[in-house]
Amino acid sequence: MCTTSRNSLTHLLGRALLLALAACSVNGILAAQTPSPSFRAIALAEHGGIHKPFVDAAKPWLAKLAGENNFTVDYIENTEKIDDAFLAKYNLFIQLNYPPYMWTDTAKAAFIKYIEQGNGGWIGFHHATLLGEFDGYQIWPWFQQFMGGIRFKNYIATFVTGTVTAEDKNHPAMKDIASPFVIEKEEWYTYDTSPRPNVHVLASVDEKTYTPSTDLKMGDHPVIWTNEHYKARNIYIFMGHHPELFDNPSFTRILENSIFWAAGQQGGRRK
């Protein structure tokens, strides 16, 4: 009986070992077949207030795009984790409506290095140009220059529809964009000056097309631009207040193009 038991135990252990080896082999094959992400993005996302619906709509849209094109997107809701080592993990920084204040000093220093040394790309939306004195914070001079030397002046609180014209159709961010295109019910910001002298304007809104009409205008009104004085590929997209933008094919195409361009993925999307 003892011999039989020992033989049975040996047989069972042998089978278990074979199964374990087979599982390891399968896992190894699966790991080998799963490619590493083509790039990694970090999104600094506004976590509350009137812009949260836009952020909530952006997340599944980004997840779908990332899944189809083998990149990843992580999220943070404040700047406490940001330092040099943190940013070194990412090829793209998305400022998902988070304003240019409430940043820690360490985060500011790391972000400045990231942009000035071209360690990754940057895309900012809407709230990223809320430059001034807000919520007890002073203006961030470096970020003000990064955005073309502008200061927030006012916004159209009643929301109006406007027509946007692509000014540089050859820029990768504007690929396959039908121009002009309509952006509905946006709270267009005005600034104390146009950023045009300090940035490369990709698109501007025609204030004569505002519907309903409003007296709150700034004249020359760029809404998408890149600052070529910095090594990092960067693009600011003014639009970004409401979630319905993700139903606008012009907006989503510009965003998609911008992601691959800013991340240095010249081939664009895979599917």
Say if 231 falls within a structural domain.
yes
3-class secondary structure per residue, the chain: CHHHHHHHHHHHHHHHHHHHHHHHHHHHHHHHHCCCCCEEEEEEECCCHHHHHHHHHHHHHHHHHHHHHCEEEEEECCCCCCCHHHHCCCCEEEEEECCCCCCCHHHHHHHHHHHHCCCCEEEEEHHHHCCCCECCECCCHHHHHHCCCCCEEEECCCCEEEEEEECCCCCHHHCCCCCCEEEEEECCEEECCCCHHHCEEEEEEEEEEEECCCCCCCCCCEEEEECCCCCCCEEEECCCCCHHHHHCHHHHHHHHHHHHHHCCCCCCCCC
**Counted domains in the chain:** 1
Say if 20 falls within a structural domain.
no
pTM given for the model: 0.86
Say if 122 falls within a structural domain.
yes
Q: What pLDDT is attached to residue 33?
A: 54
Say if 167 falls within a structural domain.
yes
Q: What pLDDT is attached to residue 1?
A: 47
CA–CA distance, 258 with 253 (Å, rounded to integer)? 8
**Residue 157 Cα distances to 102, 204, 223, 258, angstroms:** 24, 19, 17, 28
**Measured on CA atoms in the order 161, 253, 266, 146, is the torsion positive or negative?**
positive
Q: What pLDDT is attached to residue 29?
A: 41
Which residue range(s) make up the domain with 185?
A: 52-262
Say if 267 falls within a structural domain.
no
Q: What pLDDT is attached to residue 51?
A: 86
Q: Which CATH number do you get for residue 219?
A: 3.40.50.880
Q: What pLDDT is attached to residue 8?
A: 56
Residue 263, C-beta contacts closer than 8 angstroms, at least 6 positions apart: 39, 41, 71, 91, 92, 120, 121, 233
Say if 219 falls within a structural domain.
yes
Q: What pLDDT is attached to residue 11?
A: 54
Q: What pLDDT is attached to residue 27?
A: 47
Say if 271 falls within a structural domain.
no
Say if 247 falls within a structural domain.
yes
Question: pLDDT tens, position by position, for the chain (271 residues)?
Answer: 444 455 554 555 456 555 555 444 444 443 345 678 999 999 999 988 888 999 999 999 999 999 999 999 999 999 999 999 999 999 999 999 999 999 999 999 999 999 999 999 999 999 999 999 999 999 999 999 999 999 999 999 999 999 999 999 999 999 999 999 999 999 999 999 999 999 999 999 999 999 999 999 999 999 999 999 999 999 999 999 999 999 999 999 999 999 999 999 965 554 4
- Name the token pair of 103: 């940043």
